A = this chain, B = another copy of it.
Amino acid sequence: MCGTEQDTACVSKCTFSTEATGEKRSLSSDAIINLDHGDPTMLETYWRKMGDKCTVVISGYQSLSYFANTKNICWFLEPQLEEEVKRLHRVVGNAAVDDYYMVVGTGSTQLLQAALFALSPPDGSEPVSVVSAAPYYSCYPEVTDFLRSGLYKWAGDANAFDKDGPYIEFVTSPNNPDGTIREAIVKGYGGGKLVHDLAYYWPQYTPITSCAHHDIMLFTFSKCTGHAGSRIGWALVKEKEVARRMIKFMEVSTIGVSKESQIRAAKILGVISDSCLPVPPPDSINFFKFSQNLMVQRWDELREVVGHSEIFSLPEYPQDYCLFTGKFTETHPAFAWLKCNKDIEDLGKFLKGHKVLARSGRRFGSDPKYVRVSMVSKEEEFKLFLERLLAIQAPTNGNLK
């Protein structure tokens, strides 16, 4: 999670609902609410409504082999997953798939590393610089540097990068943590390679304004459908040689990707595409309408609470025409990039005192007056978060309650 172990340990103090049985248990009123991670459990209600449509049945004799399709250069990619991923991108219109190679990963986190491996000059005398514009996703520095690779090295904020020579820039759009729509920053005069992290480029989060067709585009099942536990991500890659190097990384790193997760992801993505048909199957609910409504509702509620406060503020997002919904909408990010306007130097620490865990702006190469708060938690946690935010009043006698 690129979070601290302390944060992870804190989650255990919360009481979650038991997903498998559907049994609901309430959070105690003094429970610690962990919104540090973007654990996308918000959509459990949707998947329960879908009933058996997404149920997968796997027999004991299936998928014994390492191989899924020896005719594909990505030999561990299940054909039905490739088919359903491409179908969904065509339905949504958010990314080009024709003439792209698809590489599946154990979440997009592994594919970030595969991309770094693939794009680093193999014979470079020094590691290639890896940058992203601040505030950048907090995992980028950690994932880049945790093994002290001689191939690549984190070089910080892309805005401040002025080194000559090769570099790799992560372009995250909509951005994690602040939801902005982004383009590449560094003017590298041909020496740079771009990795577009499009994890949140889906209609529930942001208007689809064009069909992306970058060199390397990363997506993740967890942010698209909410199935974080499956650890499925995919890359769409223009150049065969880059795809081949990414596949090599996957081969050495984990000898491919769970077949069970791929089979299930294929089924679930298929159900989503079906739900968007002009005449959807009986009892189907349009996935993107449902999830977009939820995001709009949560953002409305959060903006109302923040509007009553003199302490906090949120970014504003412009409206844009969404090619998928055919409507003007604004971005409703999976995270709120919350800022404190008063004399609170460390908002993360302050909120922790109110039993809300959020990720400090410092972790994103930004100011600790900001925190990133998950907007995709379970309803109960989100409500409790709003209540606590509302209870934090403006300063009285110089102190915040």
Chain A residues within 8 Å of B, Cβ to Cβ = 1-2, 5, 8-9, 11-12, 14, 16, 19-20, 37, 39-41, 43-44, 47-48, 50-68, 70-71, 75, 106-107, 109-110, 113, 117, 139, 142-143, 146-151, 222, 226-232, 244, 248-249, 251-261, 263-264, 268, 271
Contacts and interface: CB of A to CB of B under 8 A. Distances in A.
A286 to B, nearest CB: 16
A353 B60 CA distance: 36
Contacts of A148: 149-151
A149 B113 CA distance: 13
26 contacts: A2-B255, A8-B70, A9-B70, A11-B67, A11-B75, A12-B71, A16-B65, A19-B61, A47-B60, A47-B61, A55-B60, A60-B268, A63-B229, A64-B226, A66-B228, A66-B229, A106-B254, A106-B258, A107-B255, A110-B253, A147-B149, A231-B254, A231-B255, A231-B259, A260-B261, A260-B263
A253 B250 CA distance: 11
Contacts of A149: 147-150
A258 B255 contact: no
A22 B370 CA distance: 57
Given A65-B41, A259-B230, A264-B260, A252 B146 contact: yes
Given A110-B253, A254-B107, A58 B56 contact: yes
Contacts of A258: 106, 229-232, 257-258, 260-261
A139 B60 CA distance: 28
A230 B268 CA distance: 19
A229 B64 contact: yes
Contacts of A67: 11, 39
A8 B53 CA distance: 35
A56 B57 CA distance: 6
Contact of A150 (B19, B150, B230, B264): B150
A38 B330 CA distance: 52
Nearest to A117: B147
Contact of A55 (B40, B59, B117, B146): B59
Nearest to A106: B254
Contacts of A244: 5
Instruction: Pick from A2, A142, A252, A268 the residue with the most CB of B within 10 Å.
Output: A252
Given A2-B251, A258-B260, 19 more contacts: A1-B66, A11-B67, A41-B64, A44-B61, A53-B60, A54-B61, A55-B57, A58-B58, A60-B268, A66-B222, A109-B255, A113-B253, A150-B150, A231-B255, A231-B257, A232-B258, A254-B254, A258-B261, A261-B261
Given A254-B109, A258-B260, A264-B260, A227 B64 contact: yes
Contacts of A248: 5
Nearest to A248: B5
Nearest to A76: B229
A126 to B, nearest CB: 11
B66 A37 contact: yes
